[in-house]
Amino acid sequence: MTQEGTGSGTDAGAPAGTEGAAAGRSTALTGFTGNARPYAGGDPYADYRAATRARAELAGLVDLADRRLGAGVMAAGDEFFAERENLLLRAPAAFEPERFGHKGKVMDGWETRRRRGPSAGLPHPQPGDHDWALVRLGAPGVVRAVVVDTAHFRGNHPQAVSVDAVAADPAAAPEELLDPGLRWTELIGRAPVGGHAENVFAVHHERRFTHLRLRQHPDGGVARLRVPGEVVPDPAWLAALGTFDLAALEHGGTVLDASDRFYSPPENTLLPGRPQRMDDAWETRRRRDTGHDWISYRLVEQGEIRAVEIDTGCLKGNAAGWAELWVKDAPDGGNGDNGGTGGSWTRLLDRVRLQPDTVHRFLTAPVLATHARLDIFPDGGVARLRLHGSLTGQGARRLAARHTALS
């Protein structure tokens, strides 16, 4: 299997309507290029070029392009062979060797037709030829990386990709985003990618964005697009809400660490809505010792918690048995150089019994907090944690200052 490599993304060939990116704005965390071997039967992922090390570096970041947060592929210049919506499906891309349709092989991704040159004398695609897709992020934020997954596109993947971003009205229509006068910012210059591979690029651009434009040069197929980053919520919206979930991913809450990520990620506990399946929760492996599992969180900012929900939805024989909730108020809000290590932990909920597949609700004495920690005993799963409350004046000011600095 090809090993991951490192290198710099090129900034050459910035398209019209795009601000040029300075050197160092993106870094390729993988070095996959060229075709993969033709499918020879058996497990189609056996020779998949996975970005194992790069994926570990991105653990804990929010996928800003998660459809569960409201992301969508709004438009594409071409989707002849496979629909653009496949880009944001949560499951790994599937491959059915015998499945063909009226247009050819049915692929689980976004695939465009083959580009041709303008004449018999110039049959090949021209240097600027490319296909594009517009993606609305589910939550506006700072993009830390872009993952362009070409699983099962072995010889029909793009030769290169580029990614631009813009800060616009989250509800902007495709025609507004396609306005030639709109200035996009280049996050990843035209960079080579490999077929049947997890191509990962780190992005170094401290700005808040709402939409991405993925370009593939000159044509081809991409299975999945992931956009790891940090949510930067609209402070005016949160102020209007008043009381909201201070830990929710869509509002800027994050997972800092967890004792176990064996079956599913702890970030699932902060997703919107109720879980639809067991893997839409956080579940740990079975403990064979006397310890317990836990998740630590950073709230959107300093807030006053007044109510708590712990949901074990869809966890029927593997829900956690008991839970405790601890909070602390870090002096810097958790966004400073020390990561919010100051402050002391206070127990907000004494150890409570959890029932399977149940929403548990608790009213608490109002308490100021920037961080929370959910302890479960001895192991098992929790689907959602909600910490209902409102921002303090200090928390609102710090959040507004960050939003301004990144806009």
Condensed to tens digits (0 to 9), the pLDDT of residues 297-309 reads 999 999 999 999 9
Average pLDDT, the chain: 92
Condensed to tens digits (0 to 9), the pLDDT of residues 351-385 reads 999 999 999 999 999 999 999 999 999 999 999 99
**Rounded percentage of the chain residues whose pLDDT exceeds 90:** 88
Taking 60 as the threshold, does the pLDDT of residue 252 lie above it?
Answer: yes
Q: Which residue has the tokens 């079956």?
A: 263
d(CA 247, CA 58): 20
Residue 329: pLDDT band by 50, 70, 90 thresholds? very high
d(CA 403, CA 153): 39
DSSP string, 302-339: EEEEEEEEEE-TT-SSSB-SEEEEEEE--TTTT-STTT
Helices then strands (H, E): number in the chain?
A: 4, 26
**Rounded percentage of the chain residues whose pLDDT exceeds 70:** 92
Taking 70 as the threshold, does the pLDDT of residue 341 lie above it?
Answer: no
Taking 60 as the threshold, does the pLDDT of residue 22 lie above it?
Answer: no
- Please tell me whether residue 82 adopts helix, strand or coil conformation: strand
Residue 14 pLDDT: 39
Residue 25 pLDDT: 86
Residues β-bridged to residue 305 = 367, 389
